[in-house]
């Protein structure tokens, strides 16, 4: 690795932490960084509260901190899931929802929002059905001859099936429930409170950590099935572990924040363009870049206009796609 690459690598790792802290002070109400730190420390050192304007505590600890933590972990998690599934399916054009997670989660959320309401919160239902979708995909694709192609194909089919179920639920929904559902589908990092996050954040962190630990293994898993087996990999078991971890992370994100697309596809690609295809670098750098990217996108979503808020999922698409096209055209070396 050259000196320049090393420096770049460290910059990428530091990037999300820097934007995290800066973003804590950015928003409808401008809060100077000093006050931000005081507010952050105040649960441990109550004396820090003195002198702070009254709404600062509520804003920093109650509004921005959970939101930014979620953006950080969701961005990291989605990127790492995307990178892992790309390695697994030996295809850099695969995204983190390819196993049917987004459709399953959407259907689960619709069941909750439209039919069950309080007795079955959308987060739980979304998570449950996301996992169900993946289980179905795995079960079906196991039976066929060519495991990887059928994994993707089955993912597409199962996604379509859950989309159809979703449409069915939408059909019977009252306009009020329908509205709620559509907003859920578009992705919003601002909804979940500390309650929901206390469960989903650890899930995201665990899954992401597991995938990062497996980063070298993914090089081997990106070989053809035959080669990977010849190299001594217990293919069935290791693929399952990666799928489980990626599903855990992506479902945890989707269940609290809705569907935020174009993170798991774009970020690993960007990293590969900068740092090559070795997953020892791609996976952790994707986590870092993804975290920073989603924080920035969310800053835009909530800061662009004071009085209305565009769902972040729309932003990640609107930013991600053109940027990606630009980079593809400029880059001479595409590590494909």
Separation in Å, CA 329 to CA 225, 273, 336:
32, 12, 14
Outline where DSSP puts E strands in the chain.
none
* Alpha-carbon gap, residue 228 to 320, rounded angstroms: 33
Query: How many chain residues are in contact with another protein, going by CB under 8 A?
Result: 86
Q: Which of 11, 41, 146, 172 forms a contact with another protein (CB under 8 A)? A: 172
Can residue 226 be called a binding residue for another protein (CB under 8 A)? yes
Residues 292-331 that bind another protein (CB under 8 A): 302, 306-309, 313-314, 317, 321
The two structure tokens encoding residue 209: 């950590």
The two structure tokens encoding residue 102: 């987004």
Residues 124-143 that bind another protein (CB under 8 A): none
Can residue 108 be called a binding residue for another protein (CB under 8 A)? no
* Alpha-carbon gap, residue 79 to 221, rounded angstroms: 18
Comparing C-alpha atoms, which of 7, 22, 75, 74 is closest to residue 267? Answer: 75
> 285 with 275: CB under 8 angstroms?
yes
Residues 254-273 that bind another protein (CB under 8 A): 259, 261-262, 265
* Alpha-carbon gap, residue 8 to 310, rounded angstroms: 32
> 88 with 243: CB under 8 angstroms?
yes
The two structure tokens encoding residue 114: 């439209």
Q: Which of 13, 29, 124, 273 forms a contact with another protein (CB under 8 A)? A: 29
**Least distance (Å) between residue 188 CB and another protein:** 8
Q: Which of 43-51, 99-107, 131-139, 244-252 is the region at the interface with another protein (rule: CB under 8 A)? A: 99-107
Can residue 45 be called a binding residue for another protein (CB under 8 A)? no
Q: Which of 3-11, 16-24, 34-42, 213-221 is the region at the interface with another protein (rule: CB under 8 A)? A: 213-221
**Least distance (Å) between residue 224 CB and another protein:** 7
Q: Which of 216, 240, 322, 328 forms a contact with another protein (CB under 8 A)? A: 216
**Least distance (Å) between residue 119 CB and another protein:** 9
Can residue 276 be called a binding residue for another protein (CB under 8 A)? yes
Around 150, how many Cα atoms within 13 Å sit in the side-chain half-sphere?
A: 12
**Least distance (Å) between residue 173 CB and another protein:** 7
């Amino acid at each position: 690795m050259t000196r320049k690459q090393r420096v770049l690598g460290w910059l990428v790792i530091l990037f999300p932490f820097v934007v995290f802290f800066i973003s804590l002070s950015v928003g409808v109400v401008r809060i100077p960084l000093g006050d931000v730190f005081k507010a952050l420390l105040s649960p441990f050192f109550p004396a820090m509260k003195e002198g702070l304007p009254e709404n600062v505590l509520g804003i920093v600890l109650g509004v921005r901190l959970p939101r930014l933590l979620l953006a950080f972990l969701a961005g990291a998690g989605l990127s790492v899931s995307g990178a892992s599934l790309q390695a697994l399916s030996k295809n850099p054009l695969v995204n983190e929802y390819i196993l049917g997670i987004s459709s399953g989660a959407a259907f689960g959320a619709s069941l909750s929002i439209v039919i069950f309401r309080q007795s079955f919160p959308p987060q739980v239902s979304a998570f449950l059905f996301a996992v169900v979708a993946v289980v179905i995909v795995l079960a079906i694709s196991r039976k066929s001859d060519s495991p990887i192609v059928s994994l993707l194909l089955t993912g597409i089919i199962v996604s379509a099936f859950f989309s159809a179920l979703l449409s069915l639920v939408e059909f019977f929904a009252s306009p009020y429930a329908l509205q709620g559902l559509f907003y859920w589908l578009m992705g919003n990092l601002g909804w979940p409170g500390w309650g929901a996050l206390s469960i989903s954040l650890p899930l995201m962190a665990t899954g992401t950590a597991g995938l990062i630990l497996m980063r070298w293994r993914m090089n081997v898993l990106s070989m053809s099935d035959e080669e990977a087996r010849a190299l001594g990999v217990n293919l069935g078991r290791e693929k399952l572990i990666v799928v489980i971890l990626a599903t855990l992370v992506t479902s945890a994100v989707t269940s609290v924040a809705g569907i935020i697309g174009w993170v798991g596809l774009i970020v690993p690609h960007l990293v590969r363009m900068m740092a090559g295809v070795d997953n020892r670098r791609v996976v952790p750098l994707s986590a870092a870049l993804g975290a920073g990217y989603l924080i920035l996108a969310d800053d835009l979503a909530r800061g662009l206009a004071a009085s209305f808020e565009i769902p972040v999922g729309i932003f990640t698409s609107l930013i991600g796609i053109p940027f990606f096209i630009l980079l593809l055209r400029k880059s001479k070396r595409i590590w494909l």
